[in-house]
Amino acid sequence: MTDSSDDGVLTDDRVLSLIGHLEELRKRIIISLIALGVGMALCFIFKSWLLQFLITPLGDKKLITLSPTESFMTVFKVAGYAGMIIASPVIIYQIWAFIAPGLKTKEKRVVMFSTVFTTILFLCGIAFAWYLVLPRGLGFLMSYEDEVFNQQVQASKYFTFVAFFLLGFGLIFELPAMILTLVRVGVVDVPTLRKNRKYAILIGTVASAALTPGQDLFSMLAMAIPFVLLFEVSLIFARFIKRPEKKKEAVEVIDDGPDGEAAG
C-alpha cells in the first residue's frame, strides 16, 4: 500500500493512520473525563469542608442565594471547579501523551519533564493566588467605599469569581514551562523572545484582562505583573538550555565524466 495517490484520495495506510490518531484522541479524552468525574465526586462528598474553606477570605460575611435552586447549583459548580483542579495533573499528562508519539526520544524526555514541571507550576500559581493575592484583593474590593455601599455577596458569583481567579493564575504560572519547552525543542530561541518582548507583555495584559473574572484594575494588575516577571525569569533560564543541534544536510555530488564535474 502507498500513502498517496494522484487523484488526492486518502489511501488505506493514511486512513488507518487517521483512525489510529482519532482512537488515541478518544482514549485520552475519556481518561480525562473519568479523572474529572472522580475529582468532582470527591469534592461533592467533602462539599461542606470545601465550602467552608473557600469562604475563609470573606471573614464574617455570609453568602446569599437568590433562588431556591441556587444553593444546589452553586455546590455542583464548586465541585466542578475544584474537581478540575484535582484532575489537572491527569489532564495535562493526557495532552502531552497524545503529542508524544510524534516526537523523538529526546523530545519525549523533555515532554515528560515538562508535564511534571507544568503541573507543579500550575499548583504553585493557584497557591500564590489563594494565599497572597485573593485575600488582599477581596479585602480591597469588599471595603471599597463601604460607608456608601452595603455589599451583599451572592454565592454563585463569589465561587465563580474565586474559581476563575485561581485557574487564571494557574495558567499564567505555566508560562515558564511553555517557554523553556519551546526553546529546548528548537521552536523558538532567546533572541527572538527578547526581540518580541513588547508583544509578550501585550499578550500578557490581554490574557490577564480575559482571565480576570471581576474585570477590576486590581485583579488585572495582580495577574499581569506576575506574567511579566515570569516571562523575564523564563528568558534568564532559557539561556542555559542547550537547543538540539540541527543535522547538516549532505550535498550529493554526481560525477558526470572523467574530470569529476558535477552534473548540472
CA nearest 11: which of 19, 233, 114, 123? 19
* pLDDT at 248 > cutoff 50: no
Instruction: Identify which has the larger pLDDT, 176 or 33.
Output: 33
More confident of the two residues 91 and 211 = 91
**Residue 258 is assigned to a structural domain of this protein:** no
Domain for residue 2, yes or no?
no
Under a CB-based contact definition with an 8 Å cutoff, are residues 96 and 112 in contact?
yes
When pLDDT is cut at 50, 70 and 90, the band that residue 262 belongs to is very low
Q: Percentage of residues in the chain with pLDDT exceeding 90?
A: 7
Distances (CA, A) of 180 to 114, 115, 124: 9, 12, 17
Q: Is residue 7 part of a domain?
A: no
pLDDT at 7 over 60: no
CB atoms within 10 A of CB 232: 13
At 208, is the pLDDT very low, low, confident or very high (cuts 50, 70, 90)? confident
The answer to whether residue 245 sits within a structural domain is: no
pLDDT digits (tens, 9 = 90+) for 127-155: 888 888 888 878 777 777 777 888 788 88
- Identify the weakest region by mean pLDDT among 68-77, 199-208, 215-224: 215-224
Question: Considering only 107-121, 125-139, 151-165, 224-238, which range has the smallest mean pLDDT?
Answer: 107-121
Q: How far apart are CA 74 and CA 163, in angstroms?
A: 12
β-partners of residue 255 are 262
Q: What would the DSSP string read from start to end of the chain?
A: --S--TT----HHHHHHHHHHHHHHHHHHHHHHHHHHHHHHHHHHTHHHHHHHHTGGGTT--EE-SSTTHHHHHHHHHHHHHHHHHHHHHHHHHHHHHHGGGS-HHHHHHHHHHHHHHHHHHHHHHHHIIIIIHHHHHHHHHHTTTTT----EEHHHHHHHHHHHHHHHHHHTTHHHHHHHHHHTTS--HHHHHHTHHHHHHHHHHHHHHH-SS--HHHHHHHHHHHHHHHHHHHHHHTTPPPPPPPPPPPP--B-STT-PBP-
Confidence of residue 254 (pLDDT cuts 50, 70, 90): very low
Query: Is residue 262 one of the residues assigned to a domain?
Result: no
For residue 247, tell me if it sits in a domain. no
Instruction: Count structural domains, the chain.
Output: 1
C-alpha cell of 204? 500578557
Whether 189 is in a domain gets the answer yes
Is the pLDDT reported for residue 195 higher than 80? Answer: yes
Mean pLDDT of the chain: 77
Better-predicted residue by pLDDT, 260 or 38: 38
Of 25-29, 31-35, 149-153, the range with the lowest mean pLDDT is 149-153
Bridge partners of residue 262, in order along the sequence: 255
Question: What pLDDT does residue 101 have?
Answer: 66
Whether 249 shows a pLDDT value over 70: the answer reads: no
Structure confidence at residue 138 (pLDDT): 81
* Position with higher pLDDT, 53 vs 110: 53
Q: Is residue 257 part of a domain?
A: no
Q: How high is the pLDDT of residue 198?
A: 83
Which residue segment(s) compose the domain that 124 sits in?
12-238
Euclidean distance between CA atoms 129 and 136, whole angstroms: 10
